[in-house]
Amino acid sequence: MVDVADRAGVSVKTVSRVVNNAPYVRQDLVDRVLAAVTELGYRSNGLARTLRSGGATSTIGLVIEEIGNPFYATVAAAVAEVASTHGTMLLTASSEEDPQREQDLLLDLCSRRVDGLLVVPAGFDHTFLRVEVEMGTPVVFLDRPAGGLLADTVLLDNRGGAEAGIRHLLARGHRRIATLLDSTAVYTMAERLGGAQHALAEAGITGDPALIRDGVADPDTAAHVTADLLDSADPPTAFFSTNNRITVGVVRELWRRGSDAALVGFDDFELSHLMPRPFTVIRYDTRELGRQAARLLFQRIDGDDSPPTTTVLPTRLVERGL
């Protein structure tokens, strides 16, 4: 900057003004500065600017669970869109489901002085963020609630969706309904299982433990478990799948053996109309999840200091076939 100022025969402050399009600079000085800038290949240092001006970095941080997962990719895309509206860039990091890594990333992001934080929690204790929040860095939690921290949260109606799914099957006369889930340790899974069991209990059905299958981590396992259940002495007449990956496996197995068992799956499919066998899904708007959370965050960044809110996004049962 000093070099540019020397070259243009002005003070650094004038260079600063020109670079920032400040008003009240004589045109000939502007021209001289701009000429010096291009001749010298000068590029302003945004870091130094924020340091001195104490202003916003125009950056927000997003910490998700697993960047490779389409669900999070969609959330990130929606967040990025809102951020771009606010002239803000997005710093994305993946916690890989590791609470320690989550904390490190979050603290790193704070050290980079992001204007706000969006978090899909992996850990269960976010008290370490209290300092940041008090110091003025807003935090919004997505998809899962925060641990030990009162903060804005945007969730899906996992319980309601699962209840609707089970009721749909009950209304069609099903009494033996199998529930396949990944892990009860994950908040969303626990909620969906809870909703399913609640709807079942409501109908006076005492759940058969053999019909609840935990640890179904991928489509292959789901297909296996489905086969196993169908081959049992008293097979289920309907399946409730608690996520996309599981649904893929169940559909595949059902289709393979031409079974007419009913299926309701949590999460919709993009190419649902190309599925070999129709099935009912519990749909929700992943983009909206990211969008709402991002909007909320920018409200906070813009100074809104009303009490933290919890938003629950609706799910919708989309009936297809059996």
Task: Give the residues lining the site for a second copy (CB under 8 A).
Answer: 41, 43-48, 50-51, 57, 59, 67-68, 70, 73-74, 76-77, 80-81, 84, 89-94, 107-113, 131-132, 134-135, 248, 251-252, 255, 269, 271, 273-276
80 or 109: CB nearest DNA: 109
Nearest-Å Rg of the Cα atoms of the chain is 26
110 binding partner (options DNA, a second copy, none; Cβ < 5 to 8 Å by kind):
a second copy
Nearer to a second copy, 153 or 280 (CB): 280
> Residue 148 CB, nearest distance to a second copy (Å)?
16
On the CB side of 258, CA atoms within 13 Å amount to 0
AA identity, residue 119:
V
Phi, psi values for residue 28, rounded to 5°: -65, -35
Which residue, 43 or 273, is less far from DNA as judged by CB? 43
Residues 6+ apart with CB under 8 A from 27: none
User: Of DNA, a second copy, none, which one does residue 20 interact with (CB within 5 to 8 Å by kind)?
Assistant: DNA
- Distance (Å, whole) CA 243 – CA 189: 8
When binding is defined by CB under 7 A, the residue of 53, 134, 234, 274 that contacts DNA is 53
Beta carbon of residue 199, minimum distance to a second copy (angstroms, whole number): 28
Look up tokens 């899962």; give the residue: 144
Q: Are 83 and 27 in contact (CB under 8 A)?
A: no
The one of DNA, a second copy, none whose footprint includes residue 274, by CB under 5 to 8 A per kind, is: a second copy
Residue 1 has a CB neighbour count (10 Å cut-off) of: 16
d(CA 152, CA 146): 9
Question: Other CB atoms closer than 10 Å to residue 309's CB: what's the count?
Answer: 12
Name residue 213's beta-bridge partners. Answer: 180
Whole-angstrom distance, CA of residue 108 vs CA of residue 106: 5
Q: Does residue number 131 form part of the binding site for DNA (CB under 7 A)?
A: no
19 sits near DNA (criterion: CB under 7 A): yes
20 binds DNA (CB under 7 A): yes
CB 113 within 8 A of CB 135: no
**16 binds DNA, rule: CB under 7 A:** yes
- Residue 14 binds which entry of a second copy, DNA, none, CB below 5-8 Å type-dependent: DNA
- Kindly write out the interface string for residues 31-50 of this chain, putting x where it contacts DNA by CB under 7 A and - elsewhere: ------------xxx--xx-
Contact 195, 166 (CB under 8 A): yes
Q: Tell me which stretch binds DNA (CB under 7 A): 7-15, 164-172, 204-212, 221-229.
A: 7-15
Burial label, 87 (beta-carbon count in 10 A; 0-12, 13-18, 19+): exposed
Least separation in angstroms between residue 218's CB and DNA is: 44
**Using rule CB under 7 A, residue 52 touches DNA:** yes
Closest distance to a second copy from the beta carbon of 189 (Å):
22
Residue 210: CB minimum distance to a second copy, A: 28
Asked if 135 touches DNA (CB under 7 A), the answer is no
- Say how many C-beta atoms besides its own lie within 10 A of residue 83's C-beta: 23
Rounded Cα–Cα distance for residues 279 and 317 (Å)? 11
Residues that bind DNA (CB under 7 A): 1, 9-14, 16-17, 19-20, 24-26, 29, 43-45, 48-49, 51-55
